[in-house]
Structure 1
Amino acid sequence: MSGPQDRDRDGFDDRDGSGWREPEHLGEGSSRGDSTPGGTPPADPPQEPQRPAADPGWQPPGWDLPAAEPARPRDPGYEPWPDRPGPQAPPQQPPARGGGLFGPRRPRQPGEVEKVFAYQGDPVGAQGWAVQNGWEISDGTGPEDAALGLLLTTAPTRLTRDHRPAGVMRGRYGTLDLVAFDVVYADTRRMVPEYAITAAPVLATLPALRLSPVRFWKHRTGGLAPVPSGDPQFDDRWVLLSSEDSPVVRRLVEDPTVRGLLLDSDDGDEFWSAGAGGLSGGYVAAIRPDGQRPELIEHHARLLAAVVGALAAAQA
């Protein structure tokens, strides 16, 4: 049997429910009446004011501007301004080229160095020139070419194992026996000449020498010291490095012929004696980043003749 204490066991009150109120978050008033929990009747919603029938209500600024008229009517008697060309500038004559206070200038004549190294197509070629002058030609792989490896290993430039001599030419120029060749390397399917070397074999014992332009980067200079010439103009452009400071070495930079030829050049060649320290039966050589051609062979021959002559005079 159930007693009065069991009336809320199922969560509902079985009485008339007159004390129940709906929670405020579910609405206003009771589901059983039209009044709010406090007995106050609900307020009526606000009503909008009455507008005239022609009043469109709120509009954004500029919404009621008049429509654009692409062709506006013009006033009677309007005439457009005539299109008349403006004042034209008088034609000007181009200034005469090369004019000056004393008349037109004469065209500049190239110097001797520019004539030597100006590209002219070389229709004959270095080997053709060598044949015409009675020189011998080899491909750089013969038995007599094995000694050229000494020039490659002592050259003042950075040469690798891929560099080898090619287009070797041997002959006599004036009083010197010369050997001239290209230093080439393989580039895919062709050989590229990178340097041109011209050397004069000598029988005298020479110290290690390096005569280079000051602007050149120096390689393989271990054990070499600069030897000044005493001429500031020459020392500003050329530097002599040697393993010893002897009268033979000083005679090289004090010789007026050597200094005159080098100062008249474009500072593009380097000279050295093949081998480190004393060397008997070596070379005095010149190198330039170029390929051999007749003008370059003759240019190197003149410089080597002066260098070898100065060294020979000092040893006499």
Structure 2
Amino acid sequence: MSSPRDRDRDGFDDAAGSGWQEPAHLGEGDAAPADRPADRPAEPTGSGWQPPGWDLPTVEPARPESVPPAVPPAVPPAVPDADRPPAAPGPDAAWDPPAADQRQSDVPPGAEPEGRRRGWGGLFSPRPQEPPADPGGPASPVPVVDPGDPYGLQAWAAQLGWTSSEGTGPEDAALAELVRTAPVRPGKEDRPGHVLRGRGNGLDLVACDVLSPVGRGFVATHAITAAPLLGDVPGFRLSPARIWRHRIGGLLQIPGPDPEFDRRWVLLAAEDGPQVRALVEDPVVRQSLLGSDDGDELWAAAGFVAAVRPDAHRPLLVEHHARLLAAVVAALARGR
């Protein structure tokens, strides 16, 4: 005996089978609401069934919420001119100087003439060159520098009537001995050169350079100015205290009455006597040496009293040495 349940299990009823459709998870469409269990939620239409949490999260970046545009501040109502407070006082144009009175330098920064800049080589460096003439003005003559006389020493000596020689003649034999005894420790091959002879400050003077061999030529390393001595004068050396002294064995240090002079200058002599003491006691000698830059050394040898400086000769240096030698010779003469 069959029942309606068996019929449904064994086969399909034509009437019932005509209304059958594919389940929602196997195809498109949705199951009939009557066929869906009550505890199963409804699946979305148009897509296959997926387990909960299967879908990936969206990849769109989180955007901040739009900020409402700022409301412009309310414009206060216009205040009548009668009720408006007076404005703060500003700079008075009458206190500003006229444009013509605002004086400025005609030379821009960093464009000073080369001759007027600071930093020349020393006390007896070449004199500064005059600034170039205005391009719009008359052209000034350009001085011509002689390569053989870069400091103008020969031209200066010729104007004074001095004579010149190369230092190799018979009259220059005494200069070779003077160079050999110089306190600057000359080399064995050093010799005098660029010799000038003339009168200055009441003395017969001879000026020369100490030439040292360099390669195939010679270069001037020191400048010597000497004056011949009358009579016998003990050998001495008058040197700045800051300069290293060599070959002073057997010499005596002669102190003076001026502590400032003894602090800056040292007098060494072969023997103590009135002549060498007159050098440190004479006020003119002390003033002349204290007023210098302590760059010269003086000594007596080979019948001369001489001054030497580590530099090539130039007119200003010859004049400086002449003043020192005039003071020293006068002090030695008074000490006899």
CA distance in 1 between partners of 2:123 and 2:310 (Å): 15
CA distance in 1 between partners of 2:67 and 2:191 (Å): 91
Q: Which residue of 2 aligns with 1:204?
A: 231
Tell me, what secondary structure is at the counterpart of 1:117? Answer: coil
Q: Which residue of 2 aligns with 1:129?
A: 156
Q: Which residue of 2 aligns with 1:77?
A: 66
CA distance in 2 between partners of 1:78 and 1:190 (Å): 89
The structural deviation recorded for 1:149 is 1.2
CA distance in 2 between partners of 1:301 and 1:206 (Å): 19
Tell me, what secondary structure is at the counterpart of 1:120? Answer: coil
The structural deviation recorded for 1:174 is 2.8
Per-residue CA deviation, residues 204-255 of structure 1 (Å, 9 max, x unaligned), is 1011100000001001112101000121011000010001111111111100
* Pair 1:145 & 2:187 matched: no
Tell me, what secondary structure is at the counterpart of 1:271? Answer: strand
Structure 1 residues 177 and 76, CA gap change in structure 2 (3 angstroms): same
CA distance in 2 between partners of 1:305 and 1:260 (Å): 13
CA distance in 1 between partners of 2:193 and 2:67 (Å): 91
Tell me, what secondary structure is at the counterpart of 2:335? Answer: helix
TM-score (norm 1): 0.61
Tell me, what secondary structure is at the counterpart of 1:178? Answer: strand
Structure 1 residues 167 and 118, CA gap change in structure 2 (3 angstroms): closer
- Amino acid of the structure 1 residue aligned with 2:212: Y
Q: Larger C-alpha radius of gyration, 1 or 2?
A: 2
Is the 2:201–2:323 contact (alpha carbons within 8 Å) kept by the matching residues of 1? no
CA distance in 1 between partners of 2:66 and 2:328 (Å): 99
Identical aligned residues as a percent: 55
CA distance in 1 between partners of 2:122 and 2:287 (Å): 18
Q: Which residue of 2 aligns with 1:183?
A: 210
Q: Which residue of 2 aligns with 1:262?
A: 289
CA distance in 1 between partners of 2:258 and 2:190 (Å): 37
- Amino acid of the structure 1 residue aligned with 2:328: V
Is the 2:187–2:212 contact (alpha carbons within 8 Å) kept by the matching residues of 1? no
After superposition, where does 1:138-287 map in structure 2 within 5 Å?
A: 138-275=165-302, 282-287=303-308
Per-residue CA deviation, residues 132-176 of structure 1 (Å, 9 max, x unaligned), is 100110011111111111111211111111211110000111320
CA distance in 2 between partners of 1:302 and 1:118 (Å): 18
Q: Which residue of 1 aligns with 2:326?
A: 305
Q: Which residue of 1 aligns with 2:124?
A: 117
- Amino acid of the structure 1 residue aligned with 2:209: D
Q: Which residue of 1 aligns with 2:30?
A: none
The structural deviation recorded for 1:186 is 2.1
CA distance in 2 between partners of 1:72 and 1:307 (Å): 100
Q: Which residue of 1 aligns with 2:105?
A: none
- Amino acid of the structure 2 residue aligned with 1:195: H
CA distance in 2 between partners of 1:254 and 1:311 (Å): 11
Q: Which residue of 1 aligns with 2:41?
A: none
Q: Which residue of 1 aligns with 2:74?
A: none
Q: Which residue of 2 aligns with 1:109?
A: none
Match of residue 293, structure 1, among 299, 314, 325 = 314
Tell me, what secondary structure is at the counterpart of 2:332? Answer: helix
- Amino acid of the structure 1 residue aligned with 2:243: F
Tell me how large the CA RMSD over aligned residues is. 2.5
The structural deviation recorded for 1:78 is 6.3
CA distance in 2 between partners of 1:78 and 1:213 (Å): 86
CA distance in 1 between partners of 2:227 and 2:316 (Å): 17
Q: Which residue of 2 aligns with 1:97?
A: none
The structural deviation recorded for 1:200 is 0.3
Is the 2:278–2:332 contact (alpha carbons within 8 Å) kept by the matching residues of 1? yes
- Amino acid of the structure 2 residue aligned with 1:290: D
Structure 1 residues 75 and 306, CA gap change in structure 2 (3 angstroms): same
CA distance in 2 between partners of 1:200 and 1:233 (Å): 27
CA distance in 1 between partners of 2:252 and 2:310 (Å): 24
Structure 1 residues 121 and 194, CA gap change in structure 2 (3 angstroms): farther
CA distance in 1 between partners of 2:123 and 2:203 (Å): 21
